[in-house]
Structure 1
Amino acid sequence: MLKRISRSCRPLLAIALALILALAPVSAVWARSGGRIGGGSFRSPTFSAPRSVGPRSAPVYPSYGGGFGFPLVVPFFWGGGGGLLTLLLLIGAGSFLVRSLRSAVSEDGDEGVADPPVTLAQVKVGLLASARQLQKDMNALALEADTQSPEGLSQLLQEVTLGLMRYSDYWAYGHAQAEKLPLSRAESLFYQASLQERSKFSAETLSNRNNQIQQVPQAVLKRAAAGIPDIGEYLVVTLLVAYRGNLGTLPVVKSAADLRQCLLQLASIPAERIVAIEVLWTPQLEGDTLSAEALLTEYPEMRLL
């Protein structure tokens, strides 16, 4: 009997839910607008076979009685004369060639490695909602940033970190972590972290991924923003950065000074070392902000500064 009643009530519950969503205030619907800027690829040619190098000329050694260059060693060795000197020359030449080959394969120790190390860094900043201009800056950056080239990604990283430091007076919460992993694991963990952050948005209202811009129509945004009361308290900006090698351990964020040091370290990553970047911020919609309860629920790892 109860099963029959519950089945008959399902359509009524569905209608009631639809009415609740339709009549809900716009602020509830748009409470988690989010933005995203990113680019890069873990399939970059940087991680393929070692880069080719031009032909290297053989080392030339001084002649001691005949011939020139390296061939002079053979007559001396087989002729019985200067045996010890010839052996030393052979050892020296072999050592020189080994060092040359190693430097050709890798200048930083990672090129040509089948599964090179990649560092995944994550920095989160919670700001007071009064930092309104930051939302506008992030929106403008999303529309203008070059997210397809290493140079563009480096500039994006520097502009975001610089923008955050300009609003350091509004910092309220922070978090940072970094982990060095093989490339094969780093790729999946990077995109898992990105999806986890994006899942906190009710709607991704602006994104620029590899120069592919997607944006909710401005008319919709204006209609939504018109009814949003200014009751929020916080903004959150998340930086996900994957880069080759290790540029130092990020400090545990316990103060604004620690958070600043983390941002400075990210900003110093050379363009040629950057693998991929994701910059996510919420709320993206101007006037839309997070409550303290929402921030503590969705970002429990962040510490009060």
Structure 2
Amino acid sequence: MSRFKLTRFTSWLRPLLKPFLVCFLALVLVFSQADSALAARAGGRIGGGSFRARPSSGRTYSSPRSYQGPSRGYYPGGGFGFGFPLVMPLFGFGGGGLFSLLIFFAISSFLVRSFRSTGFGEGETYTPNPTVSVARLQVGLLAKARHLQDDLNRLATSSDTSSSAGLSKVLQESTLSLLRHPEYWAYADTENVQTKLTSAEVEFNRLALMERSKFSHEAVSNVNNQISGGNSATLPDADGNLQSGEYIIATMIVAAQGKLTLPNVNSEQDLHKALNQVGAIPSDELVAVEVMWTPQASGETLTNDEVIAQYPNLKLV
């Protein structure tokens, strides 16, 4: 009896086994393709800088000069030396009179203002922990903007990233490459942080590491003139056209002395303004720069699903 039941169950199960296996294999295939589609792509990176304290605006600051009076015997009754003779009493009123004291303080005030106006007080405005702005500007471009990959790959292998002037050039060339082709702009986003120099490096590294972690690896890198990779691959395009539904992501992270506030990007005009602000930062105000892009290889692109999964912060422009 039990053998009969087993045979009956097997005959009932056999027709269902084949459809079940087909569905199982189909699910495995779908999920394996999804995993490969959402896999991280290689990226490129250019940057450098230093968070050591330095004077802003290219000036050399010094501590305030200390003006000491001559020996005590030079001015009997006077305790305020200025390094030049101040004759007291004045106008015959005697050294201890109220009028003489008023005259003395008026002259002192005038001299202090004169010293400040001629630059003797510049050292008083220097602070070893100035305000530093850390900003991130991220742009998603249509896949036809493959010129950007070519431009950034070229910059990565030829730029001097060990000096402020070299980093300024990298920033200007990167923003120019984006500004010249607004027809390829699709998405964008900005982030601003204002802090002190002692905390700016933490914020800068946080933003940079967050973006770098989205790459499978850095195929080309030039940071503080340490170049690695350098073989900028180019993928062939079989039919001569790239689908406009695929994307390239470019990210610029800057730290600059002073206040830099990028606008919230909701339109092409906002993005144009933000790019101009980043590209116009003077070299003597730059503290550090990171320019990153993915995919690194010219002709390779991100799918729409990859952009949604890895860059949910981007907004349509």
> TM-score of the superposition, structure 2-length normalised?
0.72
Alignment partner of 2:309 out of 281, 297, 305:
297
Deviation at 1:279, TM superposition (A): 0.1
For residues 238 and 124 of structure 1, the distance between their equivalents in structure 2, rounded to whole angstroms, comes to 4
Match of 1:88 among 106, 110, 125: 106
SS of structure 2 residue aligned to 1:208: strand
Equivalent position of 1:196 in the other structure = 210
- Tell me which residue corresponds to 1:13: none
Q: Secondary structure at the match of 2:89?
A: helix
Q: Is the 8 A contact 1:36 1:142 kept in 2?
A: yes
Q: What is the CA deviation profile of residues 44-75 of structure 1, one whole-angstrom value per residue up to 9, with x for unaligned ones?
A: 5448xx733898999xxxxxxxxxx9633243
Q: Is the 2:140–2:249 contact (alpha carbons within 8 Å) kept by the matching residues of 1?
A: yes
1:144 deviates by: 1.1
* Counterpart code for 1:270: P
* Match among 283, 288, 291 for residue 300 of structure 2: 288
Matched, 1:105 2:124: yes
- Given that residues 30 and 288 in structure 1 are in contact (C-alpha distance below 8 angstroms), is that contact kept between their aligned partners in structure 2? no
Q: Quickly say closer, same or farther: Cα 1:31–1:70, change in 2 above 3 A.
A: closer
* Alignment check: 8 A CA contact 2:133 2:255 kept: yes
CA distance in 1, matches of 2:135, 2:120: 32
Task: Tell me whether 180-189 or 86-95 shows the greater mean CA deviation.
Answer: 86-95
Matched, 1:256 2:256: no
Q: Does 1:32 align with 2:41?
A: yes
Amino acid in the other structure paired with 1:274: L
Letter in 2 for 1:235: I
Q: Which residue of 2 aligns with 1:66?
A: none
2:51 is the counterpart of 1:42 = yes
Query: Does the residue aligned with 2:123 lie in a helix, a strand or coil?
Result: helix
Which whole-Å deviations, capped at 9, do the CAs of 1:11-39 have from their partners, x for residues lacking one? xxxxxxxxx9xx99xx8698611000001
Matches within 5 A, 1:129-168: 129-168=143-182
Alpha-carbon separation, structure 2, partners of 1:282 and 1:290 = 8
Deviations 1:193-250 (A, max 9, x none): 11110110112100000111100657xx57xx57999677100000000000014x32
Cα deviation for residue 176 of structure 1 reads 1.1
Distance 1:115 1:52, change over 3 A: closer
Q: Is the 8 A contact 1:32 1:288 kept in 2?
A: no
Q: Is the 8 A contact 1:150 1:271 kept in 2?
A: yes
How has the CA–CA distance of structure 1 residues 256 and 227 changed in structure 2, closer, same or farther, with 3 Å as cutoff? closer
More helix by share: 1
- Counterpart Cα distance in 1 of 2:109 and 2:53: 39
SS of aligned partner of 1:36: strand
Check the 8 A contact 2:61/2:122 in 1, yes or no. no
Q: Distance in 2 between matches of 1:273 and 1:163?
A: 22
1:64 aligned residue: none
Partner residue of 1:187 out of 177, 194, 201? 201
In structure 1, what is the Cα distance between the partners aligned to 2:157 and 2:304? 29
Q: 1:79 to 1:57 in 2, by over 3 A?
A: closer
Corresponding residue to 1:237 among 231, 236, 250: 250
**Aligned counterpart, 1:269:** 281
Q: 1:117 aligns with which of 108, 131, 138?
A: 131
Q: Unpaired runs of 5+ in structure 2?
A: 1-28, 69-81
- In structure 1, the residue matched to 2:19 is none
Cα distance in 1 for residues equivalent to 2:85 and 2:63? 27
The one-letter code of the counterpart of 1:268 is A
Corresponding residue of 1:71: 84
Q: Is the 8 A contact 2:44 2:221 kept in 1?
A: yes
Identity, in percent, stands at 40
SS of aligned partner of 1:202: strand
